[in-house]
Amino acid sequence: MTLKGKNVVIIGSGFGGLALGIRLQSRGAKVTILEKQAAPGGHAQQLKAEGFTFDMGPSLVTAPDVVDQIFQSAGKKMSDYLELIPLDPYYRIYFHDGSYLDYSGNTERMKEQLATFHPKDAARYDAFMESSRIMEEAVIKKGLGTKPFMTLKSMISFAPKAIRLGVFLPAYTFVKRYFKDPRSRFVFSFHPLFIGGNPFKAPAVYQMIPWLEKEGGVHYTPGGMYSLIQAFTSLFQELGGHIHTSEPATRIETQNRRVTGVKSSQSFYPADIVVSNADFYHTYHDLVDAGDRKKWRNKKLEKIDYSMSSVLIYLGLDRKYDKLKHHTLIISKDYKRLIRNIFDKKKVPFDFSMYLHVPSRTDKTMAIPGGESMYVLVPVANQLSRTNWDEFSEMFVNSILHYLEHSFGLEDFSKHIIYKSVFTPEDFQKDRNNHLGAAWGVEPKLTQSAYLRPHNRSEDIQGLYLVGASTHPGAGLPGTLMTAETTEHVILTETEGV
Ligand SMILES: Cc1cc2nc3c(=O)[nH]c(=O)nc-3n(C[C@H](O)[C@H](O)[C@H](O)COP(=O)(O)OP(=O)(O)OC[C@H]3O[C@@H](n4cnc5c(N)ncnc54)[C@H](O)[C@@H]3O)c2cc1C
């Protein structure tokens, strides 16, 4: 199948935009990507300052096979573009009582640790992993994750199997069936947080992630996650694609509700096909004329639940802390209340759970000699909380740093910080056009999944497609790469009548 001669404009250069750019350019289309930011990558951008290198967002590479498929779609080999280093453990999880678990794919080591929490939890590990494997097989290997779900019928036909697998249950409820100790329940149910979802509400289909991690590993790319963006960008350009950075799209132009092109801050790009990888709300609300929108009117856009947000604190240290692993999670005492505050009450929490990314534990080039490069990610409510982060962030950040030094036990932490910068929900909104600063887009929940998620093809405008976190199957590195396959499939079906 070919798209020879078709002009395609993709708005946004996140994982989804770049992966689709590679796929369509390989099919003969002439693809131009417009990116608002000064560099490609979306949430996976890089920050370099004072000898430290930081990945600004995603940090865990999972499902290398899904990544490899992007290179294969262009007839290339991933190993020619990218080195993947497997991590062990995948992450260390500290609980509020000081106990911890080194989470890995090693069955025996996992069982030994779970047994110290509750003897029955170790015994149930295999059964849980088997249920996770079955879900992963359905979603990834059998292709449900890349099935477009454009009609209600296509979703209903899958329902009996989904009920049998338990995928409609909330993730935490599903995990509770297997494990007794609250710590074990956390360990196997927190994964929806990685993609902006509420573990107590997101469907258990995300419980495929533990198997995805066990089977494919959790990896690091030297130089950080941004190496993956650089690899995708190089491949896209080698194939003849063009990226224009610092050039936001300002309007998707149409005639008789069919795309004609994209107006940017600097030019007009005629197009047969337009794909938005930008935030879902922003795409319709700000780029598509209200008169062209029958389905996605403002009122309907407002009714959607958008994901949580986060505060990121990028820190350069002049010493090392062995207590920290490459990936470290610190879980608060009242984790359930924290989740309620973030997702239901939209209140900024003062009971912290956080994730620390310390790539300098694996890759010395990320920090100054003897130092550490790290970020602290604190999940917070999106901007329905109406927080004025300009005023509030200093106090918020100081209390987190105080917690890390005085409660968590990073000795003299504040004295060793030689670089610090902070990224807040307001920055997600301003810099990347994320509505309400919701960093993961449309919240992954049952009523916003598959057919009920924004479709990969616009219902309002012919020739307009969507790709990325807010489309099917959803956020995360594997998820957004899979959205590119789904959107490619829909484009080819409609363009070629396949
Ligand atoms: C803090 C954080 C940590 C994460 N950690 C992980 C992780 O460890 N592993 C994992 O798998 N996933 C992780 N994720 C999720 C993952 O990063 C995202 O789901 C994924 O990067 C989203 O990709 P995307 O294709 O939807 O595009 P995005 O990254 O959302 O990029 C969209 C791009 O569109 C651009 N844009 C917006 N409006 C316009 C416009 N008008 N014109 C031109 N360009 C525009 C933006 O500037 C942006 O570059 C994390 C996310 C965050 C926020």
- Paired tokens of 109: 């080591």
Q: What are the structural domain ranges in the chain?
A: 7-45+223-304+442-496, 109-209
| Residue nearest atom 21 of ligand 1, based on CA coordinates | 43
- Paired tokens of 268: 């007009």
- Paired tokens of 463: 């020739």
CA separation for the pair 354, 404 (Å, rounded): 10
- Paired tokens of 474: 């959803």
- Report helix angle 119-136 to 107-117, nearest 10: 130
Q: What is the pLDDT of residue 450?
A: 75
Cα–chain center distance at 453? 16
Is 208 a residue whose pLDDT tops 80? yes
152-156, 287-291, 299-303, 366-370, range with the lowest pLDDT: 152-156
CA torsion 21→27→31→33, rounded to 10°? 0
Which CATH class, in words, describes the domain spanning 7-45+223-304+442-496? alpha beta
CA distance between the termini of the chain? 8
Query: Which atom of ligand 1 approaches the CA of 286 most closely?
Result: 41
pLDDT, average across residues 377-403: 95
CA of 415 to the centre of ligand 1 (A): 33
CB distance 245 to 40 below 8 Å: yes
Q: Which residues line ligand 1 (CB under 6 A)?
A: 11-17, 34-37, 42-44, 57-60, 194, 248-249, 277-279, 282, 310, 312, 377, 432-433, 439-440, 468-469, 475-477, 480
CB distance 460 to 65 below 8 Å: no
- Paired tokens of 278: 């930008």
Mean residue pLDDT of the chain comes to 93
* DSSP 8-state class, residue 360: G
Strands 242-244 and 30-34, bridge-based pairing:
parallel
CA of 440 to the centre of ligand 1 (A): 7
CA of 270 to the centre of ligand 1 (A): 26
CB distance 274 to 65 below 8 Å: no
Over residues 50-76, the pLDDT tens digits come to: 999 999 999 999 999 999 999 999 999
Expressed in percent and rounded to 5, the helix, strand and coil fractions of the chain are 45, 20, 35
Q: What is the pLDDT of residue 494?
A: 87
Nearest Cα to Cα of residue 70 among 21, 12, 19 = 19
CA of 487 to the centre of ligand 1 (A): 17
pLDDT, average across residues 168-182: 91
CA of 294 to the centre of ligand 1 (A): 27
Query: Which atom of ligand 1 approaches the CA of 469 most closely?
Result: 26
DSSP string, 238-302: HTT-EEE-S--EEEEEEETTEEEEEEESS-EEE-SEEEE-S-HHHIIIIIS-GGG-SSS-HHHHH
CB distance 86 to 252 below 8 Å: no
Over residues 335-350, the pLDDT tens digits come to: 889 999 999 999 887 7
- Paired tokens of 381: 């409510």
3-state secondary structure 338-358: HHHHHHHCCCCCCCCCEEEEC
Q: What is the pLDDT of residue 498?
A: 43
- Report helix angle 226-238 to 64-73, nearest 10: 20
SS3 223: coil
Longest dimension (CA), the chain: 66
CA of 14 to the centre of ligand 1 (A): 5
pLDDT, average across residues 167-171: 81
CA torsion 349→351→353→356, rounded to 10°? 90
CA separation for the pair 83, 228 (Å, rounded): 9
Q: What is the pLDDT of residue 204?
A: 82
Query: Which of 10, 22, 43, 269 is the best mutation target for the ligand 1 pocket, counting ligand atoms within 8 Å of the beta carbon and taking the most?
Result: 43
Burial class (CB in 10 A: 0-12, 13-18, 19+), 173: middle
CB distance 324 to 357 below 8 Å: no
136: pLDDT confidence band, cut at 50, 70 and 90?
confident
